[in-house]
Structure 1
Amino acid sequence: VPVVVIGNITAGGSGKTPLVLYVVQALARRGWRPGIVSRGFGGRVQGIQAVSPESDATLVGDEPLLLARRAGCPVFVGRDRVAAAQALMFAHPDCNVLIADDGLQHLHLGRDVEIVVIDERGIGNGWPLPAGPLRECPARINEAHALVLNGDAPVPAGVEPRLMFGMHLVGDRFHNLHDPQRTCGVEAFRGRRLHALAGIGHPARFFRQLERMGLRAEQHAFPDHHAFRKADLAFVGDGIMLMTEKDAVKCQAFAPPETWVFPVEAQLDPDLAQWLVEKLNGCQTA
């Protein structure tokens, strides 16, 4: 079974989860039966765990739970991604392609396609962790099959990717956390007291997105994968809270009624999906 690894060379959110969703949905539309394996950062799972839409985010992690709710395919998590992949294939033998979420540095997992994604922060100060954001040197991008530039991401100096694709995260509707059938546009929040909450790798991206939509909100940034508690939301009072999908999966049990979620979708050049299908077809016939 071919394996597609989607990752980055820096710490912090660069847009991997929306890209994973895009790839899974694009492949499914073309007749593939994908499955997802993930580390489950922020979760406390021991061993290997199948993730369902009803799973506990504190156990399996926020990103895998979001993927399980949105992707429409099997999702398995585990520190050992090879074991997670084997467990997924045993439980779902009809799966014919695996997508590894954030698996670039997990070299024990074989891969047929590597896709690296970076955002507008690029490589930051160019230093490795902990002095900077780099997990690997920028030249690692040259070894991957493709580079995806999220938003206004720059191509790092000295990097010559084999292929490049642009990506933008878009959204225009909010839905109520407790009643997803209730949706509204940005006009419903203008002139209201707003709080924006983000416990993601790059909270400023969410805050800027709201500002570009004309919304002025008090900003509350939390660490990536933060394990939210009711006390964390005490600032809301009589205001309205806006949050990301990734945070919403952890706050549903205690968030106030006027909590609204802003889902985003990845938009990419259709050539990426066509290129990926051709690569995967080549893997099957090799």
Structure 2
Amino acid sequence: MIKTPTYWAERGWRAVLLLPLSVLWAIGSLVRDSLARPARATVPVVCIGNLGAGGTGKTPIVSWLYDNLASRGWQPVILSRGYGGQLRGPVWVDGTVHTADDCGDEPLMMADTRDVVVARDRVAGARMIEARGLHDVIIMDDGLQNPHLEKQVRVGVFDGGFGIGNGWLIPAGPLRTGWRKGLSMLNLVIINGADSSGIGARIGDQLPVHHVTTQIDQDVVDSFAGTPLLAFAGIGRPARMFDSLQAAGAQIAQRLSFADHHPYSAHDLTRIQEEAHRHGAEMITTHKDWIRLPGDWRERVSLLPVSIQPDDAEALLQAIETGLHSPDPDASKQAASAGST
């Protein structure tokens, strides 16, 4: 697990030195895609992903979509690669049996109240879901660039503050796919948070754009009124969590950032606890981090729930449902564009 490189944000000398490797990445992706023969599931697939590496807040969006589709009569299931987990799958995630080391932190977190399948081979995961016969839509968590399973709806999520960084391919930049090719893959876009990067203007009218904000549980923050907090997080963009906490009125004594999906060692936990004691602070972290902690540590560390709030939830759901009802991904893209405002 590595932290998001700072040079991904600008076209500096370190990024320039890595450009030859980005060319190799592009060639490898082209070869992989040309050899792939996409399989079609018997139920529609909506993929929530991004064009680049690093956190954009996909998991809360996946959870929100699952809950809202279920409330509208759908029988959804989440299909995840299980990043950070040891199980290759396919396997149904069971929070009473599995740990984050087994299936990854995000699938385990979502499986608290949702049906989740982990599979390195997404096609095998889809076949397991089909065999169960209880679901009528697959929500694929990440995997836009996976060419092996067809998707009826492809949603690209962007962090409003980061956008596409320097716009270069991995490892010189954050993009897994070139900008133009990436946009051509999508049916619609979700921008998470204030669009200070100008990504919305860059997309323009090429795709329907929806906006969401990530909200933290204000009651949890208020319960710590007057109490210093040590906030720690190993997510894609920890600063977003810290800034949200502070904006909600929390008194943050110290911030500790770790790499996304970071496996907390005994040394890490000792350091966190010592720093908390030094500041006389309570410890708080995200749900995704909390679920990676040892059982006894979950009693010492407070969990900060987050959720997303779309600017227009009904329009977003209708755009996705329109695509799910269309057998042709290209047709669903045209329908989404026609229905956008």
TM-score by length of 2: 0.75
String of CA shifts for 1:236-282, please: whole Å, max 9, x gaps.
Answer: 24431110010111114141644111111111112111222222233
Shift of 1:214: 2.2
> What is aligned with 2:146?
106
Q: Shift of the alpha carbon at 1:48?
A: 2.0
Q: Is the contact between residue 110 and residue 116 of structure 2 (CA under 8 Å) also seen in structure 1? A: yes
Tell me by how many angstroms 1:167 deviates: 0.6
Structure with the larger strand share: 1
Cα contact 2:191–2:200 (8 A) shared by 1:
no
* Deviation for aligned residue 1:158: 4.9
Deviation of 1:190 (Å): 3.3
SS at the partner of 1:69? coil
Equivalent residue for 2:265, pick from 224, 229, 250: 229
Q: Which amino acid aligns with 2:269?
A: L
Corresponding letter in the other structure for 1:103: G
Matching residue of 2:175 = 134
Larger CA Rg, structure 1 vs 2:
2
- Distance in 1 (CA, whole Å) between partners of 2:298 and 2:58 is 29
2:164–2:199 Cα contact (<8 Å) kept: no
Shift of 1:39: 0.7
Match of 2:75 among 25, 33, 49: 33
Q: Distance in 2 between matches of 1:34 and 1:204?
A: 32
Which residue number in structure 1 is paired with residue 109 of structure 2?
Answer: 66
Q: Residues 177-192 of structure 1 correspond to what in structure 2 (within 5 A)?
A: 184-192=219-227
How many residue pairs get aligned? The number is 272
Residue equivalent to 1:93: 133
Is residue 2:206 matched to residue 1:166? no
Instruction: Write 1 or 2 for the structure with the bigger share of helix.
Output: 2
The Cα of 1:23 is off from its aligned counterpart by: 1.1
Distance of aligned partners of 1:35 and 1:187 in 2 relative to their CA distance in 1, 3 Å threshold: closer
The residue number in structure 2 matching 1:79 is 120
| Conserved? CA contact 2:200–2:209, under 8 Å | no
* Distance in 1 separating the partners of 2:288 and 2:237: 12
SS at match of 2:143: coil
Q: Tell me how far apart the structure 1 counterparts of residues 253 and 208 of structure 2 sit (CA, whole Å).
A: 38
* AA matched with 1:58: D
Q: Which runs of 5+ in 2 are unaligned?
A: 1-42, 332-341
Which sections of structure 1, spanning at least 5 residues, go unmatched? 174-183
